[in-house]
Amino acid sequence: MIHSLFLINAAGDIFLEKHWKSVVSRSVCDYFFEAQERASEAENVLPVIPTPHHYLLSVYRHKIFFVAVIQSEVPPLFVIEFLHRVVDTFQDYFGVCSEVMIKDNVVVVYEVLEEMLDNGFPLATESNILKELIKPPTILRTVVNTITGSTNVGDQLPTGQLSVVPWRRTGVKYTNNEAYFDVIEEIDAIIDKSGSTITAEIQGVIDACVKLTGMPDLTLSFMNPRLLDDVSFHPCVRFKRWESERILSFIPPDGNFRLLSYHVSAQNLVAIPVYVKHNISFRDSSSLGRFEITVGPKQTMGKTVEGVIVTSQMPKGVLNMTLTPSQGTHVFDPVTKLLSWDVGKINPQKLPSLKGSMSLQAGTSKPDENPTINLQFKIQQLAISGLKVNRLDMYGEKYKPFKGIKYMTKAGKFQVRT
């Protein structure tokens, strides 16, 4: 399936190559560079590029292109999903997935890649299994290894590979047994000029960090499971139980993992926690434009909106902006024409605003469209859909674990058209 993998940085250098079958010359990447040149921006490079003898499938993450070389028919999502899994694994191993990190740990990277694929077909992609085969590098381990001569490589087949719960390693031991669950919801919305909602959806995930001894069997139930319109599970969740009782029953992997992602459909009314008042105008004749935006809280259920960042891609004709914020800091990049305003917390008594003028290029006519405003924000202790976890129980082990559940609402792709 996957023949070779090339890692290409922003400058267009191939800094790592790995072949699982016969060697494919790196000149095959020339086709990729060509496509990259044609697409002005990195994210416009097509994920699937045909060349005379191969097909190049790529993903772009952390400013690195992961380019897989394919020789024959294969479901493209198979490759793309796998490449994303590779990136996730690197991130899991090294904390960040960057060119420098990969270059520094090239041997571990190579060993991991070797285990992940055999003859181009995925072999082990569960990070719990991989970590037993090849231990992630830590400074301490590096020092110990150099002195004692022990290795990072496991010599036994990870128990998970053969068991019915391949995601969990055996023999897990903790002194503090804890299980934390984060319910994180993101609001995707498009708000039109007049402030009415065109479309709004809630996408939620439950991320877990489980550090429990032995083989615990957990169940998690919701107060209002009917809210969930569409769900996708970590393989550990027992599907039958969910179908019949709407209860999440699972033997968790060890460590961090995404238990569930769900979708609250557009049919339900979605509470929009913030509003944006805007007054952006260009005049045809003058070379000055007015710019004024105010952000305020709407349906926040009494919680504070924090971490607000407003960004907007200004039209090409805008040369510069002179603005004064009532709070926070703002930056306008005259090259990319990107305005970004870091607002911080919204104080309902004193709404943050950003006012000022734009200087336009002389002679050009006014732009057709006012810029859209993208919003980011965070609300702690609130799941905007109203989803609530009822209880979390543990079976199969005797000790009493420490349990915690946290809620958070964030802006996903939140756009205001002006």
- For residue 296, what are its two tokens? 């305020």
Of 41-49, 328-336, 344-352, 376-384: span binding other proteins (CB under 8 A) = 41-49
How many CA atoms lie within 13 Å of 56's alpha carbon, on the beta-carbon side?
27
Site string for other proteins, 78-97 (x = CB under 8 A): x-xxxxx-------------
Of 47-55, 89-97, 288-296, 342-350: span binding other proteins (CB under 8 A) = 47-55
Min. distance of Cβ 307 from other proteins in angstroms?
Answer: 19
Of 46-54, 272-280, 346-354, 383-391: span binding other proteins (CB under 8 A) = 46-54
Distances (CA, A) of 110 to 18, 92, 117, 157, 271: 8, 15, 11, 19, 47
Window 371 to 390, contacts with other proteins (CB under 8 A): 371-372, 374
Min. distance of Cβ 338 from other proteins in angstroms?
Answer: 11
418 near other proteins (CB under 8 A): no
Residue 122 or 325 having the CB closest to other proteins: 122
- 206, 210, 214, 218 alpha-carbon torsion, rounded to 10°: -30
3-state class percentages of the chain: helix first, strand second, coil last, to nearest 5: 20, 40, 40
- For residue 344, what are its two tokens? 């911080």
153 near other proteins (CB under 8 A): yes
Min. distance of Cβ 271 from other proteins in angstroms?
Answer: 17
Residue 1 or 300 having the CB closest to other proteins: 1
**Which residues lie closer than 8 Å to 279 by C-beta, 6 or more apart?**
290, 291, 292, 293
Residue 10 or 301 having the CB closest to other proteins: 10
Min. distance of Cβ 83 from other proteins in angstroms?
Answer: 8
- Between CA 69 and CA 22 the distance in angstroms is 12
CB 342 within 8 A of CB 329: yes
143 near other proteins (CB under 8 A): yes
Q: Where are the beta strands (DSSP E) in 245-317?
A: 247-250, 255-264, 274-282, 288-297, 306-313
Window 274 to 333, contacts with other proteins (CB under 8 A): 313, 315-316
Out of 30, 63, 77, 399, name the contact with other proteins by CB under 8 A. 77
- Between CA 144 and CA 138 the distance in angstroms is 10
Out of 38, 63, 151, 331, name the contact with other proteins by CB under 8 A. 151
